[in-house]
């Protein structure tokens, strides 16, 4: 969980030089990854909705979309400049994992979402602008805090993530197009998009298992473990931020 967090952590942990690439080059690669995974995400969200007999609600999508759009326009630049290093991403992973664990302990009171739930999930996605928080994880946390059941929380998080993911990819793509992408990045970007599509498709069956899960503690534990590993590595290296 958290594509931006993994993009910050894994290259550092594995000794890759991703962080040393120019900002425009990193953005181009991130656009390719989002473009690759977005079709699978949309298909999974539609299947989950059909299984529950739900259809897309434009008003609900708007409520879930407005907070991350507003936050992105206002804070994306400062966040990109000040956050994204291994230590800050590690802290975000640990905090987000702990929040998910606490939220998942709440009672499952409802199976249908309402406008308040849509807005709460949107606010969660806005917080996920911080690298390491995870858009899907923040949406799941917000929905469970509102008392939605795990299946309903998962459906809402998936549905809300589709327009945000597509919008982020489109916005970054336009910015890359204005500045001019390095043609040498075309092959790596295409490979990244293909890998993102295949990995998302391979992981899509896990959605049904998450719907039936009695606890999301393994997800929370993974986030906390990854964040702790990042903090330990950051403590042994010169800080990146």
Question: Residue 49 CB: number of other CB atoms within 10 A?
Answer: 17
Contact 92, 131 (CB under 8 A): yes
CB 85 within 8 A of CB 240: yes
Give residues with Cβ within 8 angstroms of 155, minimum separation 6: 45, 48, 49, 52, 54, 113
Number of Cβ within 10 Å of residue 184's Cβ equals 9
- Say what the pLDDT of residue 231 is: 85
Residue 167 is predicted with a pLDDT of: 73
pLDDT for residue 72: 82
Q: What is the pLDDT of residue 142?
A: 95
pLDDT value of position 101: 94
Q: Report, in angstroms and rounded to the nearest whole number, the Rg of the chain calculated over CA atoms.
A: 17
Which region, left, alpha or beta, applies to residue 213 given φ > 0 means left and ψ of -120 to 50 means alpha?
Answer: beta
Per-residue pLDDT, 201: 86
Chain-centre distance of CA 167, in angstroms?
A: 13
pLDDT given at position 237 = 58
Predicted pLDDT of residue 107: 92
CA proximity to 234, closest of 79, 91, 21, 23: 91
Mean pLDDT per 10-residue section of the chain, whose length is 241 residues: 62 66 66 79 81 78 88 80 78 92 93 92 90 86 95 90 76 65 69 84 81 88 87 65 43
Given the structure tokens 């990109």, which residue do they identify? 80
Which residue in the block uniquely carries the two structure tokens 């459906």? 155
| DSSP assignment letter at 132 | T
pLDDT of residue 3: 61
Burial class (CB in 10 A: 0-12, 13-18, 19+), 84: buried
Phi, psi of 105 (to 5 degrees): -80, -5
Query: What pLDDT does residue 117 have?
Result: 94
pTM reported for the whole predicted model: 0.80
C-beta separation of 111 from 151 below 8 A: yes
Inter-CA distances, 240 with 3, 112, 113, Å = 19, 43, 41
Residue 87 and residue 72: Cα distance in Å, rounded? Answer: 22
């Amino acid at each position: 969980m958290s594509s931006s967090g993994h993009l910050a952590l894994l290259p550092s942990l594995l000794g890759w030089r991703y962080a040393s690439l120019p900002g425009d080059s990193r953005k181009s690669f991130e656009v390719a990854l989002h473009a690759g995974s977005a079709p699978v995400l949309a298909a999974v969200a539609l299947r989950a909705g059909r299984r529950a007999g739900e259809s897309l609600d434009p008003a609900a999508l708007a409520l879930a979309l407005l907070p991350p759009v507003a936050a992105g326009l206002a804070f994306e630049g400062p966040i990109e400049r000040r956050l994204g290093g291994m230590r800050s991403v590690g802290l975000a992973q640990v905090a987000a994992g702990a929040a998910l664990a606490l939220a998942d302990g709440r009672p499952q009171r409802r199976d249908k979402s309402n406008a308040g739930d849509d807005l709460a999930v949107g606010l969660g996605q806005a917080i996920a602008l911080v690298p390491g928080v995870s858009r899907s994880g923040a949406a799941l946390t917000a929905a469970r805090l509102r008392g939605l059941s795990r299946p309903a929380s998962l459906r809402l998080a998936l549905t809300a993530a589709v327009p945000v993911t597509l919008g982020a990819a489109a916005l970054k793509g336009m910015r890359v197009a204005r500045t001019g992408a390095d043609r040498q990045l075309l092959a790596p970007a295409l490979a990244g998009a293909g890998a993102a599509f295949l990995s998302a498709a391979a992981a899509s069956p896990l959605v049904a298992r998450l719907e039936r899960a009695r606890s999301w503690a393994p997800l929370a534990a993974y986030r906390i473990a990854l964040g702790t590993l990042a903090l330990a590595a950051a403590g042994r290296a010169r800080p990146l931020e």
